[in-house]
Amino acid sequence: MITSLDTSVILDILIDDPEFARRSEQAIRKARSEGKIIICECVLAEIVPALGKPAVVENLLSDWQIEYSPLTKESALLAGSMNNNYLKRKGPVKRVIPDFLIGAHATLQADRLLARDRGYYRDYFTDLNLWDPSQAVID
């Protein structure tokens, strides 16, 4: 089982979010016990500001056993298509291309995405196996 992580679950833990940190940490531990954990370049770039230095990010990836998995051309094309659909629907400007890149990466390069979804992943990536730690019961 390959689990792709969204930035939201990593930041939950890094900022010790009182509502979500515990459940996100439990979900990451469970995902690790079930297989490989990956992130794409968007997630990697988005966590750098929270940690400050690339060396600290590298240590986190090593400690948490997270592998970097770059987007394939097919994933980038899927992200662009979903972003195009979004723009045609005249969605609110708050959705940006990294959201679509992360969703496409997980759809085509992982078995599931661990993310706190606010609806857009389910709406645009209907084939995506989404695991929301804020909604799921974790053993």
Q: What is the pLDDT of residues 29-74, one digit of tens each?
A: 999 999 999 999 999 999 999 999 999 999 999 999 999 999 999 9
Q: Is 137 inside any structural domain?
A: no
Task: Find residue 67's DSSP bridge partners.
Answer: 38
Q: Is 52 inside any structural domain?
A: yes
Res 88: pLDDT: 85
Q: Is 86 inside any structural domain?
A: yes
Q: Is 50 inside any structural domain?
A: yes
Res 75: pLDDT: 95
CA distance to 4, 24, 71, per residue, from 136 (Å): 16, 10, 27
Q: Is 136 inside any structural domain?
A: no
Q: Is 40 inside any structural domain?
A: yes
Q: Is 63 inside any structural domain?
A: yes
Where on the phi/psi map is residue 90: left (φ > 0), alpha (ψ -120 to 50), or beta? left
Q: Total domain count for the chain?
A: 1
Res 138: pLDDT: 53
Res 84: pLDDT: 86
Range of the domain at 15: 2-131
Region 110-133: what's the mean pLDDT?
88
Q: Which CATH number fits the domain that encloses residue 65? A: 3.40.50.1010
Global pTM reads 0.89
Q: Is 139 inside any structural domain?
A: no
